[in-house]
């Protein structure tokens, strides 16, 4: 039996699911500050990117980031992100094939955990609402380890990392001895994320790549055949 870590945002859940949450938060701040929602989001993304480049787990604390932007613009505090999340959660839908992939990995005898850079306060409501808690054996979040998917502690006991981010789901897991299955277009995303985060992820290739989650179970089985696990 292997322990398989699967990313949440961008893999099991489309990144676009979060758009209404951030859009409403930015609109509220913008209205108070007299600027455009786009300007609020630009500043939030700047903070997020700066923290990611420092490999800081606080890059994914959207409440703190948006509070900082609101304060800078003289708009007080940002709206409560968890409250907005719960409002928009009914519109969240899993990626095609997510449930089936998790079920099949479990049926093959593997331990399956969600591994996300997101913080538990934001991710656990999503996981429970979408029923993922009934399909996985555990959840790893960056606020628990006080690091994103960049430190060895995050990957303790795991054998395979699956995800859509070349840096967090391939480059660092491979450094710590895991197999990596990339979800998406590796050639395009590796170059983009390497440039964005200033980390040469394109120099470390995944063990396999899939374009759909339907391919995931058999791909994981194939890469595991090349590694002896305890």
The last residue of one of the domains, among 65, 90, 115, is: 90
State how many domains the chain has: 2
Local structure of 215: helix, strand or coil: helix
Phi–psi pair at 155, nearest 5 degrees: -105, 10
Specify which residues 115 forms β-bridges with: 140
Residue with tokens 């094939």: 97
For the chain, the straight-line distance linking the first and the last C-alpha, in angstroms and rounded, comes to 8
Which of 128-132, 139-143, 159-163, 222-226 is least confident?
A: 222-226
pLDDT tens by residue, 4-63:
999 999 999 999 999 999 999 999 999 999 999 999 999 999 999 999 999 999 999 999
Inside any domain, residue 229: no
Q: What is the pTM (predicted TM-score) of this model?
A: 0.95
Give the whole-angstrom CA distance, residue 37 versus residue 15. Answer: 19
Say if residue 195 is in the same domain as residue 185: yes
pLDDT tens by residue, 135-179:
999 999 999 999 999 999 999 999 999 999 999 999 999 999 999
The last residue of one of the domains, among 55, 90, 125, is: 90
* Domain extent for 77: 17-90
Q: What are the tokens at 16?
A: 């676009």
Degrees, nearest 5: CA angle 204-156-102: 80
The last residue of one of the domains, among 42, 61, 90, is: 90
């Amino acid at each position: 039996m292997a322990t398989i870590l699967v990313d949440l945002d961008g893999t099991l859940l489309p990144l676009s699911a979060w758009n209404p949450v951030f859009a409403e938060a930015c609109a509220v701040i913008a209205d108070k500050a007299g600027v455009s929602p786009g300007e609020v989001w630009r500043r939030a993304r700047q903070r997020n990117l700066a923290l990611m480049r420092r490999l800081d787990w606080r890059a994914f604390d959207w409440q703190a980031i948006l509070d900082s932007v609101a304060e800078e613009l003289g708009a007080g505090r940002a709206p409560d992100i968890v409250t907005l999340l719960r409002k928009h959660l009914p519109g969240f839908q899993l990626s095609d094939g997510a449930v089936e992939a998790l079920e099949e990995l479990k049926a093959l005898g593997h331990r399956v955990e969600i591994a996300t850079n997101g913080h538990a306060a934001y991710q656990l409501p999503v996981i429970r609402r979408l029923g993922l808690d009934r399909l996985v054996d555990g959840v790893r979040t960056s606020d628990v380890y006080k690091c994103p998917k960049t430190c060895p502690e995050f990957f303790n006991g795991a054998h395979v990392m699956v995800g859509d981010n070349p840096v967090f789901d391939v480059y660092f897991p491979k450094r710590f001895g895991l197999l990596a299955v990339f979800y998406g277009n590796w050639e395009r995303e590796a170059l983009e994320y390497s440039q964005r985060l200033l980390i040469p992820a394109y120099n470390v290739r995944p063990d396999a790549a899939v374009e759909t989650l339907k391919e995931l179970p058999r791909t994981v089985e194939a890469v595991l055949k090349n590694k002896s696990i305890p």
